[in-house]
Amino acid sequence: MRIFRHVAGLPDFVQNSSVAIGNFDGVHLGHQAVINEAAMNAEKMGAPLSVITFEPHPRRFFRPQEPAFQLTPLRSKVRRLESIGVEQLLVVHFDDETSQLTHDQFVDTFIKSGFHAKHVTVGYDFVFGAGRSGDVAYLRERASLDGFGLSAVEPVKEAGGTIYSSTNIRNCLSDGNPAGAAQLLGRPWEVEGRVVRGDQRGRQIGFPTANISIEDYVEPALGVYAVWVGVEEGGVTSWHMGCANVGRRPTFDKVDVNCEVYIFDFTDDIYDKLLRVALVEFIRPEKKFDGIAQLREQIALDSHDARVLLEGIGLDDLRRVHD
């Protein structure tokens, strides 16, 4: 996948694209429906498939004081978009200048001058331009005037009637329901980051753990999870069963939230390596223990429960949805 950071001067081979536009946080099944529609139009027209997304997320730009809410920071989003066949990605830096573009300037800048789009695909509720003044109705007017096609994809729902949406996925995660989030995402939700050195208390009590920061992610329910852990090296991801505590580690009077992972049957040195942690099942809420012995006993129980849960999930299934 080719990634562009500036709309000015896009190369000739992306011109006349079928373009999907959106934030695509999570790249969930609803987002995939939008991109699949753009891909079908690209195939019909013999046109390139391109996607426009925004970084940082406009919500973070306008409300920086709010807690982190993103499901997929940029690196994770890029990986998911590439995995579903996106050929070109324009990552628009959302700043003061971008935020002040009127709805007509937005179309002129990105759809007309940027890609000379043959077709544009958005979600039914897509809004854009200063003050969110542009919507699907306005895009229809411009499509008719400027000669590009337009598809607005209606909401997509799972069998139970729940709409595939980033908000519903966040709600699942905050409720300690990673399986529900996975149903809407089409894959387990994961966090990723470089392994950093912690206090090494896990190693001292017989359960060596890897620590990654999750400060850029929405905060899931704090507690212990059964997880699949992907260790990346040389462009290859190897997957292992594990148990993770997402929380503040109250037994040791910590206050920052991080993800502390115990990888089963694994002894490699992975400091500074990229770790991907896929949350599969919530085991229990985080709690404060009276001492190390009680904590050690609970970790052993949690690890047993996690292993039993994960043994019922085929690694081939995990690879299919992750890689």
Quote the pLDDT of residue 197: 73
Q: What is the rounded distance in angstroms from the CA atom of residue 148 to the CA atom of residue 38?
A: 13
Instruction: Tell me the C-alpha distance between 160 and 69, whole Å.
Output: 25
- Residue with tokens 């799972």, as numbered in its chain: 158
Domains of the chain by residue range: 2-153, 188-322
Cα of 159 vs its chain's centroid, Å: 22
The yes/no answer on whether domain 188-322 falls in CATH 3.40.50.2000 is no
Per CATH, 2-153 and 188-322 having the same topology is answered: no
- Give pLDDT, residue 95: 96
pLDDT of residue 38: 98
Which two three-digit tokens encode residue 250? 């109250």
Amino acid at 264: F
- Residue 66 phi, psi (nearest 5): -75, 155
pLDDT for 322: 47
Q: Supply the pLDDT for residue 251.
A: 56
| Cα pseudo-dihedral 265, 269, 273, 274, rounded to 10 | 10
User: Does residue 56 have a cis peptide bond before it, meaning omega lies within 30 degrees of 0?
Assistant: yes
Output the pLDDT for position 317. 56
pLDDT, residue 321, reads: 46
This prediction's pTM: 0.91
Q: Give the closest residue to 226 by CA, choosing from 281, 265, 175.
A: 281
Catalytic residue among 260, 281, 297, 311: 260
Phi, psi for 149 (deg, rounded to 5): -80, 160
Q: Which residues does the chain have with pLDDT short of 70? A: 198-206, 249-255, 314-323
SS3 205: coil
Distance CA 194, CA 273 (A): 5
Instruction: For residue 297, indicate whether it is catalytic.
Output: no
Amino acid at 1: M
Asked if residue 222 lies in contact with residue 285, where contact means CB atoms within 8 angstroms, the answer is yes
Residue 117 pLDDT: 97
Write down the pLDDT at residue 248: 81
Q: What is the pLDDT of residue 288?
A: 80
- CATH fold of 2-153: Rossmann fold (3.40.50)
